[in-house]
Amino acid sequence: MEKLNPTAQSKTGYYLRWVFTLLLILLAGKFVIKNALPYFGFNKETFGDYWDYKWPLIGHISGGLIALTIGPLQFSKTFRNKFMTAHRWLGRIYLTAILIGTICSSYIAWTSSLRVNFSWAFGLQALAFAWITTASMAYISVMRRHILQHKEWMIRSYVVTFAFVSFRWLSELSIAHQLMNKFEERGPTIIWLSWTIPLLITEIILSWKKK
């Protein structure tokens, strides 16, 4: 079988990245429009059991939306080279948004979510811990001028940020409901899958590139 030359391989990789990026944009767009923005209408029916915790939930959603939006800009080499000051300020906003989102999600985990069961509350808290940890490591790395580590931790951080999109997508799959018809089982399982598997794949890719 004839092997692809380096130029062809480069083009193939380029197109695959664009297809993957487009898929992520579509998933994120659907999540924002269908799942996130409706809460800002402050309709009691939309919040459901979370109505008594609407402000922590709004803080959690707002932090997630800000981080989800800022992330792609931070990965743009062109934007970073042309607007380094903006890049740094957006990085601070990104970290602050995640901090607010983490505090709010931790509060929700041990109040409203604990009413479901401990597994659901603990799963949410674990995600929140991974969220703030990866973002903090990205910040610590850049403050120490470890640019490569900073980039890698930012990638990990955004993978965890995207877990909120992944969770909604996985939760709506019919197979998830068929395998786990009760939310008490489905919710905790999917919340772990939404970030641990993507983060494992990310680690494999980051390690493979260093070879």
Number of H helices, E strands in the chain: 10, 0
Task: List the domain boundaries for the chain.
Answer: 41-209
Distance (Å, whole) CA 64 – CA 66: 6
Coil, helix or strand for 92?
A: helix
Which residue in the block uniquely carries the two structure tokens 């800022």?
70
User: Is pLDDT at 20 greater than 80 in this prediction?
Assistant: no
pTM of the model: 0.87
Indicate the pLDDT class of residue 2, thresholds 50, 70 and 90.
very low
The confidence score (pLDDT) of residue 77 equals 82
Distance (Å, whole) CA 30 – CA 15: 23
User: Is pLDDT at 15 greater than 70 in this prediction?
Assistant: no
Indicate the pLDDT class of residue 71, thresholds 50, 70 and 90.
confident
Distance (Å, whole) CA 169 – CA 199: 17
Least confident span in 33-42, 74-83, 138-147: 74-83
Least confident span in 9-18, 40-49, 64-73, 170-179: 9-18
Indicate the pLDDT class of residue 162, thresholds 50, 70 and 90.
very high
Closest residue by Cα to residue 157 from 91, 211, 204 = 91
Coil, helix or strand for 172?
A: coil
Distance (Å, whole) CA 192 – CA 63: 20
